[in-house]
Structure 1
Amino acid sequence: MTGAVPAFGARLRALRLAKGLSLSGFAGRVYYSKGYLSRVENGLQQPSAEFVRRCDAELAADGELVALTAPPAADPAPARTETGEDGLWMMTMTPDGENAFQPLARREVLRGGAAALAGLAAVPAAAPAFRLRDSLRHHEQLLAAARGLGQVAPPRSVLPMLVGQAQSLRAVARQAGGSAAVEVARVFARTAEFAGWMTQESGDTAAALWWTAKAAEVAASTGDRDAASYALVRQALITLYAGDAATTVDLARQAQVGEGTSRRVLGLAAQREAQGHALAGNHGECLRALDRAAGHLAAAKAERTGGPVVGTTHVPDPVAVVTGWCLHDLGRPREAAQVLDREIARIPENAVRARLRFGVRRALAHAAAGELEHACELAQGMIAQGAAIGSATVLADFRRFAATVRRWSAHPAVRALEPGLAALRYR
């Protein structure tokens, strides 16, 4: 980024002057100080990502300014590649509620000696088909319960349930054969996918990638195209939060290639692609991806005949809230705030995590639009929930909000909010 600062500043000035905008006038339109804008244009200040996207939108640069400052696409954090079923899974829990998960390859297990080897149970005898069906039904109910708990509880309190369930499904798989084995594998893949999401929410990107890879591996082995594609959508969320627009778009597009993927997963993949385009400042591609998402998800809703639903079930119109998300990243905070105001009111009160995730984005959009007092009022009502829910992705957005409002550090509303925001920064 440092080397790109002079080039960005020079191009920003050229575009501003071409629009006939004075330094003061343009600073007022993007809600940044005249001094900050001057330092950026002269190559003396590294611009924030928020500032770059806002300038790009105001000057109708269609991603040109974003591209000047974008970091090169990077590979995601390395996943734990030893995902074979011959390993040992270690789940540790302390009396204060902290926990950690660690998969060990067979060679690591052997190094661990007799204590580790004692954890590798013998393969049990095959179970009757009716017992397997009963077992799977209960596992599906447990997964649904874990998803519900994930809306109101910290991810670290949900993870032990999911790890235990995945381990139990490994044991069930050893008893199954034929079509029953395929059904067990499908439930396992969905459990692993959700474990990956909860692990990402707890802040462990490497473990999240391990679970996502495991879900994709098992789904592919059974021909479950939906689970394999949705694992790519989840992986794209990891790269989205890492700020890697190009990889996010690439993964989301991979999830939309090939036959056998349901309309719902195609819609969720198109949504993620739109978020990647928004991060890159590509307004046209973003809107086209959102249109595809809306079409796929509407068709999926009309065709639904029962069974588990992939992705969120707590947001009435996922495309609408993602549109608000994208508008903010495209540097259109006022439009984003209008959309999010409307859509968050439709999310059920018990969907705490979903309301919080999009609620912080809503506050961020209002702040970026210069509606400072309202933004601080919205944030104040979510700080306690943000501390309780323990979501790494929500806390990342709180930090973005704090960086935005800190530009008005002397404002009474910002000063009143600062102690709560400071507490969240150190969680």
Structure 2
Amino acid sequence: MQEHPQEFGFGQELRRRRLEAQFSLERLGKRVHYSKAQLSKVERGLKRPSPELARLCDAELNAGGSLARLLPPPVSRKPLPTPEGDDEVWLMYLDKDGTSSFQPVKRRSVMTAGAASIFSLHIGDELLAVETGAATLVEASRVLFDQFRRIGQAAGPGSVLPSLIAQAHSLERLAGRVGTHTRRELLVLASRYAEYTGWMAQEAGDDSAALWWTDRAVHLAQGGDDTTLASYALVRRSLICLYGGDTAQAVELSGAALRSGAPPRVRGLAAQHLAQCRAVEGDYDATLRSLDRARELLALAARHSEAPVLGASHVPDVVEMFTGWCLHDLGRPQRAAELLDRETARIPAHALRTRSRYGVRRALAHAAAGEIDHACAITTEVLATVGAVGSATIVADLRRLAKVLGRHPGNAQVRATMPRLSTALTQPVP
């Protein structure tokens, strides 16, 4: 069997550290919940170690990240696309079967089809009366945005994307018919619609569309004299890179956002994502430093009103939740499970998307900690909502969960859970 030089180097170092710690293969296997045979193959360079195994062994042997860093970095996906020019029109198709599609295309002709905004106002050239129409537009659109985010917590991306796209377009058009102050407010609000549209596109599994809408959000915000979105876009791109396996690029982007002059909330979210990147790299100390920085910045941001809020809005203590997930990535699943259990219980009942996301991560942490039956019970519970909300990012964690549970084919609960889990992995995002 052909050996992999870099992975074989990992195996040699794993064996050296295991013997130094006076761990037998059997003892280490029980601590990291891998079989003695699997560990033996890894040490001899006959089996490629997974990042999860590397992090678990790193934590158990107090390697300080040096073991985890011996693995070669994952192969990055294609580079993130660059923003296109603004010389385009939008085409959106709504089919009778409930499906929809959106496509920006280069402007080749003037589109003159009539349209109406959600307020049943014809989009024309006349100015709105400042005291009557303008204030209503801002107030009602803001309330509507909160409702769209609430709907997005309980339904699939396809249920909200058409409305979000239409509203972002309407607000941009209406901004040209009001006074300067209201124009800024409408453009900034349109940028928040566009940013949330990008997140829903990512949830639908379309990273290119997610980035297009994120760039569109930056353009709209700049039109309203708001530079916040430019820094937040770095955070969003960092997250997409992290999910795509490009940790180095994710670190660079989140670090740039953290060093920017953005408001505390944006920099706090950047520090949070940087912590996640450091955890994936296996750097425990750097992870905790970034989490502490995130906690400081987000506490500072909480003293000021930022509406609508950027980032997660249904997690009571987002830093504690991220700490739990970072601990999992750092190979400390038992501590991770305790934190995730506690924080997930605090998520509002109506936030099904958020509860599903962290429910899957709870199951992963418990499974990695060797609590297989409990992990299966959590999985069974969360699968009831995963299909309803539809999420490509949650499915990515489900795949990781399936691999961990798949190492225990003799467990009765695993055999009962895997058919439903396999079905969830093959269903299209609604």
TM-score scaled by length of structure 2: 0.91
Per-residue CA shift, 1:66-89, capped at 9, x if unaligned? 2222426847643363251x3111
Q: Are 1:169 and 2:171 counterparts?
A: yes
Q: What are structure 1's unaligned runs of at least 5 residues? A: 111-115
> Residue type matched to 1:168 in 2?
S
1:221 deviates by: 4.6
Q: CA RMSD in A?
A: 2.2
Q: Are 1:273 and 2:274 counterparts?
A: yes
Per-residue CA shift, 1:269-306, capped at 9, x if unaligned? 211111111111111111011111111122222x2347
Aligned partners of 2:76 and 2:244 also within 8 Å: no
Match of residue 36, structure 1, among 35, 38, 58: 38
1:285 aligned partner? 286
Aligned partners of 2:77 and 2:245 also within 8 Å: no
Rate the CA distance shift 1:40–1:32 in 2: closer, same or farther, 3 A. same
Matches within 5 A, 1:132-151: 132-151=134-153
1:113 aligned partner? none
Rate the CA distance shift 1:33–1:200 in 2: closer, same or farther, 3 A. same
2:92 aligned partner? 91
1:234 deviates by: 1.7
> Residue type matched to 1:24 in 2?
E
1:310 aligned partner? 310
Distance 2:277 2:61 in 1: 21
Distance 1:282 1:199 in 2: 31
1:158 deviates by: 1.1
State the secondary structure of the residue aligned to 2:153: helix
Aligned partners of 2:92 and 2:101 also within 8 Å: yes
2:367 aligned partner? 367
1:46 aligned partner? 48
Aligned partners of 2:218 and 2:229 also within 8 Å: yes
> Residue type matched to 1:392 in 2?
A
Distance 2:4 2:202 in 1: 29
1:3 deviates by: 5.1
Q: Are 1:388 and 2:388 counterparts?
A: yes
2:120 aligned partner? none
1:42 deviates by: 1.6
Distance 1:73 1:247 in 2: 12
Matches within 5 A, 1:207-356: 207-259=209-261, 261-301=262-302, 303-305=303-305, 307-356=307-356
Aligned partners of 1:132 and 1:172 also within 8 Å: no
> Residue type matched to 1:124 in 2?
D
Aligned partners of 1:314 and 1:347 also within 8 Å: yes
1:350 deviates by: 1.0
1:229 deviates by: 2.0
Aligned partners of 1:80 and 1:206 also within 8 Å: no
Aligned partners of 2:77 and 2:246 also within 8 Å: no
Rate the CA distance shift 1:254–1:76 in 2: closer, same or farther, 3 A. farther
Distance 1:80 1:126 in 2: 35
Distance 1:424 1:30 in 2: 27
Match of residue 70, structure 2, among 64, 68, 71: 68
State the secondary structure of the residue aligned to 2:67: helix
State the secondary structure of the residue aligned to 1:382: helix
Distance 1:158 1:148 in 2: 10
Aligned partners of 1:364 and 1:375 also within 8 Å: yes
State the secondary structure of the residue aligned to 1:256: helix
> Residue type matched to 2:31 in 1?
R
Rate the CA distance shift 1:141–1:331 in 2: closer, same or farther, 3 A. same
Distance 2:249 2:75 in 1: 6
Rate the CA distance shift 1:202–1:14 in 2: closer, same or farther, 3 A. same
Aligned partners of 1:83 and 1:214 also within 8 Å: no
2:83 aligned partner? 81
Aligned partners of 2:231 and 2:260 also within 8 Å: no
Rate the CA distance shift 1:415–1:171 in 2: closer, same or farther, 3 A. same
> Residue type matched to 2:228 in 1?
D
Aligned partners of 2:8 and 2:43 also within 8 Å: yes
Aligned partners of 2:171 and 2:186 also within 8 Å: yes
Distance 1:379 1:315 in 2: 20
Matched residue count = 417
Aligned partners of 1:88 and 1:120 also within 8 Å: no
Q: Percent identity?
A: 44
Distance 1:320 1:47 in 2: 29
Aligned partners of 2:130 and 2:179 also within 8 Å: no
2:119 aligned partner? none
TM-score scaled by length of structure 1: 0.92
1:363 deviates by: 0.7
Aligned partners of 1:54 and 1:332 also within 8 Å: yes
2:420 aligned partner? 420
Rate the CA distance shift 1:191–1:3 in 2: closer, same or farther, 3 A. farther
Rate the CA distance shift 1:328–1:187 in 2: closer, same or farther, 3 A. same
